[in-house]
Amino acid sequence: MTILVIFTYLALVLIVGTLSHRFFRGTGEDYFVASRTIGPFVLLMSLFGTNMTAFSILGASGEAYHKGIGVFALMGSSSALVIPTIFFFVGTRLWAIGKRHGYFTQVQYIRERWNSESLGLLLFVVLVALVVPYLLIGVMGGGQTLAIITGGQIPEWVGGLLVCGVVVTYVCFGGMRGTVWANTLQTLVFMTLGAVTFVTIVAKMGGLSNAMATVDQDLLMQSNRIRPLELMTYILIPAAVGMFPHIFMHWLTAKSARTFRYPIIFYPVCIAIVWIPSVLLGVLGSGDVTGLEGPQANTILVQLISRYAPGILAGFLAAGVFAAIMSSLDSQTLAIGSMFTHDIVRHYGFHNPMSEKHQVLVGRLFVVGLLAVTYVLSLISNRSIFKLAVWSFTGFASLFPVLLAALFWKRSTKQGAFASIVSVLVLWTFFFFRGWQTPGYTIGDTGIMPVTVVFAASALAMVIISLITKPPEGNILRKFFATPS
Amino acid sequence: MVDKMKISLIRWLLFSALIALFVLHKDFWFWRNPTLVIGLPVGLVYHIMFCAAVTVLMVLLVRYAWPSHLEIDEDTEDK
């Protein structure tokens, strides 16, 4: 029965995603940014759904299993503050610039903002490299969920394959419109089913007070599992949203600047609705399912579901987890497909002149190829979903100063942007190889997250190198700023 | 003139409130407190209230500090 419910849900998502094909206008702009026609509610649902992935559902509960309630402060409430702030100050401006100049990707903007081909190419390579681990956590999460919920009847590799298959189908058919429709449905599903999961499991545990009584006291406070400097420096991680290619692409779908008002206001509420149950279930699960080591804790939520809510309900709840996973995977693959089409194939004239039909075809082929590679990688990877995501976010967040300088600092130069990106590349690689094997790695074991140093170095490189190099030309400033300095 | 000053004062206050929230996020005062409030750990309740405070601030930012020049751009283009 559980399997039937999951397959019915997947069929529903496929139908919704592919139905949008009826509205397809046959142009690249329609395929990649839904002709910039998305309204406030759908924008909120698609932005939120895209950001909530296996990381927020399985990763958050897994991390809370080890670290306790502090995980909500680390990533939940910090995201509730940082992400709407970025939508307010950055998203609205990028939307306006994107509409004015007809952009589809960040690389197009950065390349023209500093008039540098090589800068655009470098950014393309870095962004694609950082998205792959983020894609990986979705595919891994899908496989793990299905394997546990079906008691091993469906192995992990089938679950991952299924997630990839469904996403690739509706992304290829429906493009961005299919993605936002499917995301809206899936966001509503995982928010509703998340609440149902929480209420059902807690009720079966004998109520919140009884369940809390079984939990180690250390997990009910932040002090013993999370260090003060960790909490202070973690706030930089959600800044990654400013550089996510898929979020940039969703911003461009907005009908107008006013469309951003709903997402800005309601984003913190949505975060609380999803993260509080995830974190609490991870904490409560620690008293119930003991002995999960490292990445095994990613399965705590699904284990609780199969223990306390078997049958049809388990199917619904697993569908909720699938919804969260697929609503991110679709946008990420579409964004990377768009970048490949616009920033490489079209820009470098491999298909010159490139028809609208060709743009869509190349985008589709790249989506299929990228998901195939990610799927193969998921078969050989065995990492904590939370930690994989945090390394990916560290890279994206550290690139954020480049975008801030592009938007707000007229004196910034292409050399400064280069220095900033290269500093991120060097330092991220350094810390990654230093800390990859160490669970909970922080710099010198002080609690300071690597993102702090990489972000600071990136910002410093941007400022210092910009100030010692030739100021940008007036025509570029006139193009991007109303009153050039 | 007075209106412009009033608007920029409100904006300045709202941006200051935003910075204050970044500071208030670091709740070291509940760092070692496992007490339950309405059935939940007090540290978690604090961060739930924090999310509510962010929502209120976002409403105010949208209402009083909205980057309306972006809408002017959009209107001009539409014409």
> Looking at residue A373, what is its pLDDT?
85
Of A324, A377, A308, residue with least CA distance to A141: A324
Q: Which helix (H) or strand (E) holds B36?
A: strand B36-37
Most confidently predicted of A4-13, A158-167, A359-368, A447-456: A447-456
CB atoms inside a 10 Å sphere around CB A199: 11
Contact A84 B58 (CB under 8 A): yes
Residue A480 lies in a domain: no
How many residues comprise chain B?
79
Give me the residue label for tokens 């002080």: A446
A28 touches A357 (CB < 8 A): no
* Record: contact B74-A208, CB cut-off 8 A: no
Residue A382's pLDDT band (cuts 50, 70, 90): low
> Confidence band (pLDDT; 50, 70, 90) for A485?
very low
Q: Is the pLDDT of residue A275 over 80?
A: yes
pLDDT of residue A218: 84
Could you give the CA distance from residue A102 to residue A98 in angstroms, rounded to a whole number?
5
| A78 contacts B58? CB cut-off 8 A | no
Determine, yes or no, domain membership for A445.
no
- Confirm whether A473 is domain-assigned: no
User: Average pLDDT of chain A?
Assistant: 85
A403: tokens are 């975008």
Query: Which residue did the predictor score with more confidence, A344 or A28?
Result: A344
Residue A452 has pLDDT above 90, yes or no: yes
Residue range(s) defining the domain that contains residue B29: 2-78
- For residue A101, the chain B residue with the least C-alpha distance is B77
* Contacting residues of B for A88, CB less than 8 Å apart: 58, 61-62
C-alpha to C-alpha distance for A288 and A300, rounded to whole angstroms: 10
pLDDT tens digit string along A172-218? 777 788 888 888 888 888 788 888 888 988 998 888 888 888 888 88
Give the closest residue to A80 by CA, choosing from A273, A254, A280.
Answer: A273
Q: Is A257 on the interface with B (CB under 8 A)?
A: yes
A261 with B66: Cβ contact below 8 A:
yes
Report the distance separating Cα A208 and Cα A373, nearest Å: 43
pLDDT per position in chain B (79 positions), as tens?
667 788 888 999 999 999 999 999 988 888 888 888 888 899 999 999 999 999 999 999 999 999 888 875 555 544 3
Distance CA A392, CA A388 (A): 6
Phi, psi of A196, deg, nearest 5: -65, -45
Contact criterion met (CB below 8 Å) for A384 and A295: yes
Question: Which residues of chain A make contact with B74, given a CB cutoff of 8 A?
Answer: 96, 99, 256-257
Closest to A253 in 3D by CA, of A320, A189, A184 = A184
Determine whether the interchain pair A257/B67 forms a contact, defined as Cβ–Cβ distance below 8 Å: yes
* Confidence tier at A484 by pLDDT (50, 70, 90): very low
Does any CB of chain B come closer than 8 Å to the CB of residue A235? yes
Minimal C-alpha gap between B15 and chain A (Å): 10
pLDDT band at A243 (very low <50, low <70, confident <90, very high): very high
pLDDT at position A476 = 86
Give the integer Cα–Cα distance in Å for A396 and A151: 36
Contacts with B, A 52-71, CB within 8 Å: 69-70
pLDDT for res A457: 97
| Torsions phi, psi for B76 (to 5 deg) | -60, -45
Residues 172-211, chain A, touching B (beta carbon < 8 A): 208-209
> So what's the pLDDT on residue B78?
44
12-71 of B, contacting A, C-beta below 8 A:
18, 21-22, 25-28, 30-34, 36, 39-41, 43-44, 47-48, 50-52, 54-55, 58-59, 61-62, 66-67, 70-71
Q: How many domains does chain B have?
A: 1
Residue A413 is encoded by which pair of tokens? 């130069």
Is A76–B43 a contact, with Cβ atoms under 8 angstroms apart? no
Distance of CA A33 to the CA centre of its chain: 18
- CA–CA min distance B3, chain A (Å): 23
Number of domains comprising chain A: 1
- Of residues B43 and A380, the one with the higher pLDDT is B43
ipTM: 0.91
CB contact (8 A) between residue B51 and residue A271: yes
Q: How far is B43 from chain A (nearest CA, A)?
A: 6
Asked if residue A462 is part of any domain, the answer here is no
DSSP class of A72: I
Asked which of A132-141, A225-234, A347-356 is least confident by mean pLDDT, the reply is A347-356
Q: In chain A, what are the helix, strand and coil shares in percent, each to the nearest 5?
A: 80, 0, 20
Å between B26 CA and nearest CA of chain A: 7
Q: Which range has highest mean pLDDT (A20-29, A100-109, A158-167, A400-409)?
A: A400-409
Q: Is residue A147 part of a domain?
A: yes
CATH of the domain at A154: 1.20.1730.10
Q: Are A271 and A51 in contact (CB under 8 A)?
A: no
Most confidently modeled of A93-107, A307-321, B46-60? B46-60
Query: Average pLDDT for residues A361-377, to the nearest whole number?
Result: 82
* A376 or A427, higher pLDDT: A427
| Contact: B28, A228; criterion CB under 8 Å | yes
**In this complex, do B62 and A220 lie within 8 Å of one another by their Cβ atoms?**
no
Q: Which of A85-94, A125-134, A214-223, B49-58 has the lowest mean pLDDT?
A: A214-223
The boundaries of the domain holding residue A274 are 2-384
